[in-house]
Amino acid sequence: MYRENAWKAYDETALAKLEQTAKNYRHFLDNGKTERECAAYTIAAAKEQGYQDLKDIIKAGKRLQPGDKVYVDCMGKAVMLFYIGKNSMEKGINIVGSHIDSPRIDIKQNPFYEDSGFAYADTHYYGGIKKYQWVARALALHGVVVKKDGSVITLAIGEKDDDPVVGISDLLIHLSRDQMGKKASEVIGGEDLDIMLCGKPLAGEEKEPVKAALLKILKEQYNVEEEDLVSAEIEAVPAGPARDYGLDRSMILGYGHDDRVCAYASLEALFGLEEVPEYTCCCLMADKEEIGSVGATGMRAMYFENAMAELLNLTEESYSDLMLRHALANSRMLSCDVSAGFDPLFAGAFEKKNAAILGNGVCFNKFTGSGGKSGSNDANAEYISKLRKIMDDHQIAWQTAELGRVDVGGGGTIAYVCALYGMEVIDSGVAVLSMHAPLEVINKADLYEAVKAYAAFMKDAK
């Protein structure tokens, strides 16, 4: 089954919209290098679109009506936006759900030490990475430091043109005979991903003078003490902005396409709905997907179910637990996560006719998982049939895909978590090259088609 390249169908008007979408997305990517930054960006944008904090609605004792727009902030790391529709929520809602965490390097709580004239920070990598890809490159430090009095210091060091950057050194090729003989997974160990922060001693300091210089900088420039790192979340991410990729500017190179490209597409799709939808629409952005959707802000937590309960209580004449169960089971979801783009240079890892081709439109993955579909949601054929009709009715470029050859590897998404409620769920997203590398690649056409696909789903799924 052959799918046409999406670019072939675009006229000048569509190309202009595509480029504007790409420009807006790059801005989102540059200002959302952590899950906290993505959440803050989303909430600020939602407020501009007329969304109100659900907590304020509840506190004021107000009811919700069709056309109302609310958001839920979960610890500043996960966000849900709801556009209240005409039908009772007990009949189900239409959900586009993504995640806004990405693989990275986290600074430990007791990180600083000095060795041979350098001050370092110990780290613990987050998510599935090829550790050797993170050395010998410019890194920026993003995050928050929460002091004992509760005040929050926000850090973003390494993004401005005149900012310093930090990084992890690598062994020079001249001395790397033993290193080059190791397996790729052993070239750089997890405890060797220490970030170099300073290299100049503090005048007059005898004991660990370089570390002392580091602490002086943190205190004077950022009002951060060493002990404050115990209550901090600081992430090392690739420094610099997302860029157009390819001489034809058809692609985007940047950090965090997985899964912020789908998060952005979901957000733009929701904001683009001009009429009150038939069914309540939800744009859900979860945290912790890269480490198993765990914790209070991961998809396995109860915040989505709790929000649904609150919304039912504010929209129905009476509330019951059974009504909530109906609403969850009757809902329809696109688990908006990226798919592995076919790479001709590594063709042996793919089964091409079931691979996602960059430029061929939004992907639908019936299943993910690994090996024998382990850890996967496997979508129902009846549900896929309905989605095919929606996509074709709206002339959206789409394709089906799976995550590489059966026994090569695999991966998961938040789909299986939401499927536990009994709702219909399928993975749908944008194809990515070099997934989980510090810099990934997407095609602008796939982003544009994803926005269209998610909007069509929210309007027409039932």
Q: Is the pLDDT of residue 138 over 90?
A: yes
Q: Is 1.10.287.1040 the CATH number for 6-102+255-460?
A: no
In angstroms, the CA 386 to CA 264 distance is 24
Q: Dump pLDDT digits (tens) for 248-271.
A: 999 999 999 999 999 999 999 999
Question: In this predicted structure, what is the pLDDT of residue 361?
Answer: 97
Interior/surface letters 106-116, b for 16+ CB within 10 angstroms, e for the rest: bbeeebbebee
Question: In this predicted structure, what is the pLDDT of residue 285?
Answer: 98
Q: Dump pLDDT digits (tens) for 295-316.
A: 999 999 999 999 999 999 999 9
Q: For the residues of 367-401, what is the DSSP string, one character each?
A: B-EETTTBT--B--HHHHHHHHHHHHHTT--EEE-
> In terms of DSSP bridges, do strands 152-157 and 195-198 run parallel, antiparallel, or are they unpaired?
unpaired
Q: What is the pTM of this model?
A: 0.96
CA separation (Å) from 120 to 116, 215, 219, 246? Answer: 10, 11, 17, 36
In angstroms, the CA 14 to CA 338 distance is 23
Mean pLDDT across the chain: 96
Q: How far is CA 60 from the centre of its chain?
A: 33
Question: In this predicted structure, what is the pLDDT of residue 149?
Answer: 96
Task: Tell me the average pLDDT across 375-399.
Answer: 95
Structure confidence at residue 411 as a pLDDT band (50, 70, 90):
confident
Which is nearest to 126 in space by CA: 190, 79, 37, 183? 190
| Residue 359, φ and ψ in degrees, nearest 5 | 95, -5
Task: Tell me the average pLDDT across 372-399.
Answer: 94
In angstroms, the CA 389 to CA 22 distance is 27
**Six-digit token string for 413:** 């998404």
Q: Dump pLDDT digits (tens) for 181-228.
A: 999 999 999 999 999 999 999 999 989 999 999 999 999 999 999 999
Q: Is the pLDDT of residue 233 over 90?
A: yes
Q: Dump pLDDT digits (tens) for 57-109.
A: 999 999 999 999 999 999 999 999 999 999 999 999 999 999 999 999 999 99
Q: Where are the alpha helices (DSSP H) in 97-200?
A: 177-180, 184-187
In angstroms, the CA 112 to CA 237 distance is 18
> What CATH class does 104-238 carry?
mainly beta
- 85 neighbors 276 (Cβ within 8 angstroms): yes
Q: Is the pLDDT of residue 8 over 70?
A: yes
Which is nearest to 97 in space by CA: 71, 75, 83, 79? 79
> In terms of DSSP bridges, do strands 281-286 and 251-254 run parallel, antiparallel, or are they unpaired?
unpaired
Residue matched to tokens 């056309």: 67
Residues 6+ apart with CB under 8 A from 328: 305, 308, 421, 422, 423
Structure confidence at residue 372 as a pLDDT band (50, 70, 90):
confident
Q: Is the pLDDT of residue 1 over 80?
A: no
Residue boundaries of the structural domains of the chain: 6-102+255-460, 104-238
CA atoms within 13 A on the CB side of 345: 2
Task: Tell me the average pLDDT across 281-292.
Answer: 97
Q: Is the pLDDT of residue 2 over 80?
A: no
**Six-digit token string for 14:** 């569509």
